C-alpha cells in the first residue's frame, strides 16, 4: 500500500536524494505525477553486476547458517518488518538480523546486517555495497590528496552515516559501530561457482511479480571459501566526521540546513512531512537529474519546473523557442561535454546565466588556448550544437579533411562489437571481483567487388552462455579465427569507442598469466591482440607507447571530429548517432526500410534473421528505430524484466550512467546466476545474438551514411 505524502518518512534513499538536491524530495512523491528516470535503477545495477548476490553472501560473513536460522526480515511491509525486527531484538543474547527495519519517526531504515548485543550494549550497523575498494583508498580514509572525502565515495559514506544516526536514536545508551562491507578488488576468489549458489528467482505476491535472490540452506564453509574479497571496514571515524559537518557543498542546500548532518536530516524530514518544494538554485547536477520528462511524455517534468523557477528568480535568462512547449527546447546544460577534462560546461554556461542552448555565446565556452587539429575540435563541435539550436541554424556539419581518411581504408572492412561482463562475485576460482569476462562478439564485413559494388555480410559471431564455462580465452581464439581465417588479417578492423581495445588488452594480460600448458596457443593469441590494439592508461605508463601494425579504427572518434548532426541530441553515443545518420542519409534509410534485403540468403546476409522476407530494420510503427524491432530478451514469467532492461540498452559515451552493453551484461549474468531451463537459456542467447548483430550492423549503416553525406554513396550488391 502506498503511503500518503503526509506519512512519508526519511529513508536512506531519500536522505541521499536530498543531499544531491532537496527539491527532488517533492518530485519523488509517489502520487506526484513526475517522471522518475531512476526508478528501479538500484535493482537493475545490482542485477547487472551481481550486487544482489553480494547482499546474500554477506550474511554468511556474519552467521554460519543464515537460512536455517531465519535471520532475514523478509517482509516488504513497513509495519510488519518493524514488528518482526522488534521480536528478534527482544532476544537476551547477541543476535544477527539481516534487513532489520528500524523506525524512529520521522526516520525509517532497512539495515543490511544489524548485530545487536544487549549484554555488551553494542549495535553494529553494517552497510553492504557491491562497490570495489583497494587498500590505498582504505588507508587514505576515502580521502583525496587534498584531505577531502573523494566525491564518488560520499554517497556510500553518507549511507552508513545516516543509518548510524538512526541507530543512535533507536538504541540510546548503546555503542553504535558503523561498518562498510565492500568488495576488495585485489583479492582472488578461492572457489569456483560461488555465484551459482545464489539463484535469481521470480515470485508473485498479491498479483505483483518480484525478482529476488534465493539463498539455499545447508551451505558449507568449503563451498563459500574464505570470502576474503568481502572487506569489512570500520567506519566510526568517517561517520563521526560526516556527522559534525555536511560535506556535500551542494548549491541546492541552504547554509542553515547544512550546519551538520542531524540538522540536515531534521530539515529534510520536515520538507517530506509538509510535502513542500524547496528550491534554491539550478546547477550542473541538473544535467543528470532523474526528474526530467522528454517532449511528449505524459508525466510532469521536475527539471523544467525548476528552470521556470530559476527564470522567475532571475538566476538564468532566456526564452524557450518552443513557446509553451519548453521541453522541445534544448537546455543550456545539454551542451556536449566531451573533451572537457575536469571542467563542467554545464556549470560554465549556468554561471553565465544561460537558460537554453541557443542562449550560449561563443565567448562563454571558448578555450583559453585553442589547439590546432585536423577535423572538428571540441569547441567547434559545441559551437555547431549551439548553432543548430537557433532557427535557421545548421543541422549538419561535415569536416571533409577528417572524413577523407575513409578513402584510405583498406578493404574489406571488419566491424566488430564485444559484449562483456565484470561481475562483483568472481564466477571462477582465480578471478578477482569485477574482472572482465568476454562472452560474445559480432562481426560484419563490407567487401568491395571488382565492379565497385559493396557486399555486406554478417560474417561471424560467437557467444557463451553455458553456466560455469569460462569464456574469455576461447573468445579471443574465436575472434582471431573470424578476422584471420587464413592466419593473415586482410583489410581494416573497426570499433566504436574504446571498449574493444580495452577488453583485448585486459585479455592479453589474462593470457600471459596462465600456465603455458593451459593456453598452448598463447603466442598466437597475444600476437593477434598486439596486431590490432594499442596500449593505453596504466599499461602505457608501464610499457610505454605501443600501437599495433593494424590498429582498429575508432568510428566514435571519426564521428566526433568529422560529423555533427542536430539529431544526435548532443551525444556521440551510437544510440543517438545511428538515428541521426539514418535521418541525414535518406538513401541508406530507404535501403533498410525495405523487405527482402536483410536476412539469411538475401542481399545482405544475416546469421540470426531467417524470416522468408528478411528483417525490416526501419518500421514506421516502431518509430524507425532499429533497436525497437528486436524481440525481447526475456519471456514467460520473467517478461517483466524487459522494460527495465531497455534502460540499459545503449549509452556508451562519456555521458552514460550505466556501463556500455548493460543489457547484454545483465542478461548474460542472469544466465550464470539463475536456474534456467535449456529453453530459457537458448532464448536469451538468441536474443543477445540479435542485439549484438545490430550493434555491428549499426557501424555498417554509419559508414554507408557518411559516404552518402560526402557525396560518395556506396552501391550495395543485391545479388
DSSP per position, 529-584: HHHH-B--HHHHHHH---B-SSPPEEHHHHHHHHEEEGGGTT--SHHHHHHHHHHH
Q: Per-10-residue mean pLDDT for the chain, 719 residues long? A: 58 95 96 86 62 87 92 94 98 97 98 98 96 94 94 95 98 98 93 82 58 75 87 97 85 93 96 94 94 94 97 94 82 90 90 96 92 90 94 88 97 96 88 93 96 96 91 97 95 96 95 94 97 86 83 97 94 92 96 96 95 94 89 70 56 38 77 78 89 95 98 92
For the chain, the C-alpha Rg in angstroms (whole number) is 27
Give the separation between CA 27 and CA 305, rounded to whole angstroms. Answer: 10
The label of the residue with cell 512519508 reads: 8
Phi, psi of 225 (to 5 degrees): 75, -160
pLDDT of residue 549: 96
pLDDT of residue 154: 94
For the whole model, what pTM was predicted? 0.90
CA dihedral for 610, 612, 616, 621, sign (positive or negative): negative
Buried b (16+ CB within 10 A) or exposed e, 247-281: bbebebbeeebbeebeebbebbbebbbeeebbbbb
Amino acid at each position: 500500500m502506498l503511503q500518503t505524502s503526509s506519512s512519508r518518512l526519511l529513508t536512506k534513499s531519500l536522505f541521499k536524494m536530498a543531499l544531491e538536491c532537496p527539491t527532488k524530495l517533492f518530485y519523488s512523491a509517489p502520487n506526484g505525477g513526475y517522471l522518475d528516470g531512476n526508478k528501479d535503477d538500484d535493482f537493475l545495477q545490482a542485477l547487472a553486476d551481481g550486487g544482489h548476490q553480494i547482499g546474500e553472501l554477506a550474511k554468511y560473513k556474519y552467521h554460519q547458517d543464515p537460512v536455517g536460522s531465519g535471520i532475514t526480515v523478509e517482509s516488504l511491509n513497513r509495519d510488519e518488518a518493524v514488528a518482526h525486527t522488534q521480536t528478534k531484538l527482544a532476544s537476551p543474547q547477541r543476535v544477527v538480523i539481516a534487513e532489520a527495519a528500524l523506525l524512529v519517526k520521522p526516520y525509517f531504515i532497512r539495515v543490511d546486517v544489524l548485530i545487536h548485543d544487549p549484554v555488551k550494549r553494542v549495535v553494529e550497523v553494517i552497510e553492504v555495497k557491491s562497490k570495489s575498494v583497494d587498500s590505498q583508498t582504505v588507508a587514505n580514509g576515502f580521502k583525496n590528496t587534498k584531505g577531502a572525502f573523494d566525491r564518488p565515495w560520499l554517497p556510500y559514506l553518507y549511507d552508513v552515516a545516516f543509518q548510524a544516526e538512526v541507530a543512535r536514536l533507536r538504541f540510546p545508551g548503546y555503542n553504535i559501530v558503523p561498518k562498510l562491507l565492500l568488495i576488495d578488488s585485489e583479492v582472488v576468489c578461492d572457489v569456483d561457482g560461488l555465484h551459482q549458489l545464489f539463484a535469481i528467482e521470480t515470485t508473485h505476491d498479491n498479483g505483483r511479480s518480484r525478482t529476488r535472490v534465493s539463498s539455499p540452506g545447508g551451505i558449507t564453509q568449503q563451498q563459500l571459501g574464505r570470502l576474503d574479497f568481502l572487506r569489512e571496514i570500520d567506519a566510526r571515524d568517517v561517520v563521526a566526521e560526516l556527522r559534525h559537518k555536511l560535506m556535500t557543498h551542494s548549491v541546492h542546500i541552504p547554509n542553515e540546513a547544512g550546519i551538520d548532518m542531524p540538522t540536515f536530516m531534521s530539515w529534510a524530514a520536515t520538507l517530506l512531512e509538509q510535502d513542500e518544494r524547496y528550491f534554491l538554485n539550478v546547477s550542473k547536477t541538473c544535467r543528470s537529474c532523474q526528474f526530467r520528462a522528454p517532449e511528449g511524455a505524459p508525466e510532469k517534468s521536475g527539471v523544467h519546473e525548476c528552470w521556470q523557477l530559476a527564470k522567475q528568480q532571475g538566476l538564468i535568462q532566456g526564452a524557450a523557442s518552443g513557446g509553451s512547449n519548453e521541453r522541445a527546447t534544448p537546455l543550456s546544460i545539454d551542451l556536449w561535454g566531451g573533451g572537457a577534462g575536469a571542467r563542467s560546461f554545464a556549470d560554465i554556461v549556468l554561471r553565465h546565466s544561460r537558460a537554453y542552448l541557443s542562449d550560449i555565446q561563443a565567448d562563454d565556452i571558448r578555450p583559453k588556448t585553442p589547439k590546432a587539429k585536423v577535423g572538428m575540435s571540441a569547441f567547434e563541435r559545441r559551437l555547431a550544437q549551439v548553432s543548430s539550436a537557433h532557427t535557421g541554424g545548421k543541422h549538419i556539419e561535415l569536416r571533409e579533411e577528417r572524413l577523407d581518411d575513409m578513402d584510405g581504408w583498406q578493404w574489406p572492412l571488419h566491424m566488430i562489437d564485444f559484449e562483456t561482463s565484470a561481475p562483483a562475485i568472481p564466477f571462477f576460482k582465480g578471478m578477482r571481483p569485477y574482472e572482465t569476462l568476454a562472452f560474445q562478439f559480432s562481426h560484419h564485413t563490407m567487401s568491395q567487388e571488382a565492379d565497385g559494388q559493396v557486399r555486406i555480410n554478417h560474417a561471424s559471431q560467437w557467444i557463451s552462455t553455458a553456466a560455469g564455462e569460462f569464456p574469455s580465452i576461447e573468445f579471443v581464439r574465436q575472434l582471431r579465427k573470424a578476422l584471420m581465417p587464413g592466419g593473415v588479417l586482410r583489410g581494416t578492423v573497426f570499433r566504436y569507442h574504446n571498449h574493444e581495445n580495452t577488453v583485448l588488452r585486459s585479455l592479453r594480460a589474462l593470457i600471459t598469466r596462465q600456465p603455458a600448458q593451459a593456453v598452448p596457443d598463447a603466442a598466437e593469441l597475444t600476437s593477434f591482440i598486439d596486431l590490432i590494439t594499442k596500449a593505453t592508461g596504466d599499461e602505457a605508463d608501464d610499457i610505454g607507447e605501443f600501437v599495433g601494425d593494424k590498429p582498429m579504427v575508432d568510428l566514435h572518434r571519426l564521428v566526433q571530429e568529422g560529423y555533427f548532426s542536430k539529431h544526435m541530441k548532443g551525444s556521440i553515443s551510437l544510440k543517438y548517432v545511428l538515428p541521426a545518420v539514418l535521418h541525414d542519409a535518406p538513401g541508406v534509410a530507404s535501403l533498410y526500410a525495405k523487405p527482402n534485403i536483410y536476412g539469411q540468403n538475401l542481399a545482405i546476409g544475416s546469421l540470426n534473421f531467417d524470416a522468408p522476407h528478411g528483417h525490416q530494420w526501419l518500421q514506421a510503427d516502431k518509430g524507425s528505430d532499429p533497436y525497437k524491432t528486436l524481440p525481447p530478451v526475456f519471456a514467460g514469467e520473467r517478461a517483466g524484466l524487459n522494460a527495465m532492461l531497455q534502460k540499459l540498452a545503449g549509452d556508451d559515451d562519456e555521458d552514460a550512467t550505466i556501463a556500455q552493453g548493460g543489457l547484454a551484461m545483465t542478461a548474460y549474468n542472469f544466465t550464470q546466476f539463475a536456474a534456467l531451463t535449456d529453453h530459457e537459456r537458448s532464448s536469451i542467447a538468441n536474443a543477445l545474438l540479435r542485439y549484438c548483430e545490430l550493434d555491428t550492423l549499426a557501424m555498417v549503416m554509419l559508414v554507408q551514411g557518411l559516404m552518402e553525406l560526402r557525396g560518395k554513396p556506396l552501391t550495395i550488391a543485391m545479388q
